[in-house]
Structure 1
Amino acid sequence: MKTVVFIPARYASTRYPGKPLVELTGASGEKKSLIQRSWEAACAVPGIDAVYVLTDDDRIRAAAEGFGAKVLMTSSQARNGTERCAEGVAQLPETPEVVVNLQGDAPLTPAWFVSDLVAHMQANPDAQMATPVLLTDAETLANFVTDRKEGRVGGTTAVMRADGTAIYFSKEVLPYVGSLESPPQVWHHVGCYAYRPEALTAYAGWDEGPLEKAEGLEQLRFLENGWPVACVAVEGKGRVFWELNNPVDVARIEGVLKKEGIA
Structure 2
Amino acid sequence: MKHKVAIVIPARLRSTRLPEKMLADLAGKPLVVHTYQRAKQAKLADTVVLAVDDKKILEAVSPFGCEVRLTPKRLKSGSDRVAFLAAELNAEIIVNVQGDEPLIHPKMIDQVIAQMLVSPMPDCATLVKVIRDNTLLNNPSVVKVVLDKDGYALYFSRSAIPYPRHVMAHAKFYKHIGIYAYTRKTLHAFSRLRPSRLEQIEGLEQLRLLENGYAIKCALTTHDSQAVDTAEDLKKSPRAHKQKCAIIFQSPFVFSNPLLIFSTHICALSSVRATMTTRSTFQNRLCNMQS
TM-score computed with the length of structure 2 as normaliser? 0.74
Q: Structure 1: any 5+ residue segments left out of the alignment?
A: 25-29
TM-score computed with the length of structure 1 as normaliser? 0.81
**SS of the counterpart of 1:260?**
helix
- Counterpart position of 2:227: 243
**SS of the counterpart of 1:191?**
strand
* Whole-angstrom CA distance in 2 between matches of 1:255 and 1:174: 31
- Counterpart position of 1:88: 85
* Whole-angstrom CA distance in 1 between matches of 2:175 and 2:17: 20
**How far does residue 184 in structure 1 lie from its aligned partner after superposition?**
4.2
- Counterpart position of 2:36: 39
Structural RMSD (CA): 2.7
CA contact (8 A) 1:86 1:201 kept: yes
* Whole-angstrom CA distance in 1 between matches of 2:201 and 2:37: 32
* Whole-angstrom CA distance in 1 between matches of 2:66 and 2:170: 42
Q: 1:78 is matched with which residue: 72, 75, 78?
A: 75
CA contact (8 A) 2:125 2:180 kept: yes
| Matched residue count | 243
Summarize the alignment of residues 223-234 of structure 1 with structure 2, pairs less than 5 Å apart: 223-234=210-221
Structure possessing the higher radius of gyration over alpha carbons: 2
**How far does residue 51 in structure 1 lie from its aligned partner after superposition?**
0.5
* Whole-angstrom CA distance in 1 between matches of 2:16 and 2:56: 17
* Whole-angstrom CA distance in 1 between matches of 2:5 and 2:60: 24
CA contact (8 A) 1:131 1:231 kept: yes
Q: 1:60 is matched with which residue: 57, 65, 80?
A: 57
- Counterpart position of 1:113: 108
* Whole-angstrom CA distance in 2 between matches of 1:199 and 1:50: 19
**How far does residue 176 in structure 1 lie from its aligned partner after superposition?**
5.5
Q: Structure 2: any 5+ residue segments left out of the alignment?
A: 246-286
Using CA pairs below 8 Å that are at least 6 residues apart, which structure has the higher relative contact order?
1
- Counterpart position of 1:5: 7
* Whole-angstrom CA distance in 1 between matches of 2:237 and 2:148: 31
* Whole-angstrom CA distance in 1 between matches of 2:83 and 2:237: 29
**How far does residue 169 in structure 1 lie from its aligned partner after superposition?**
1.9
- Counterpart position of 1:27: none
TM-aligned CA distance change 1:163 to 1:145, over 3 Å: closer
CA contact (8 A) 1:128 1:195 kept: yes
* Whole-angstrom CA distance in 2 between matches of 1:188 and 1:15: 23
Q: 2:202 is matched with which residue: 208, 215, 239?
A: 215
* Whole-angstrom CA distance in 1 between matches of 2:104 and 2:220: 14
* Whole-angstrom CA distance in 2 between matches of 1:11 and 1:253: 27
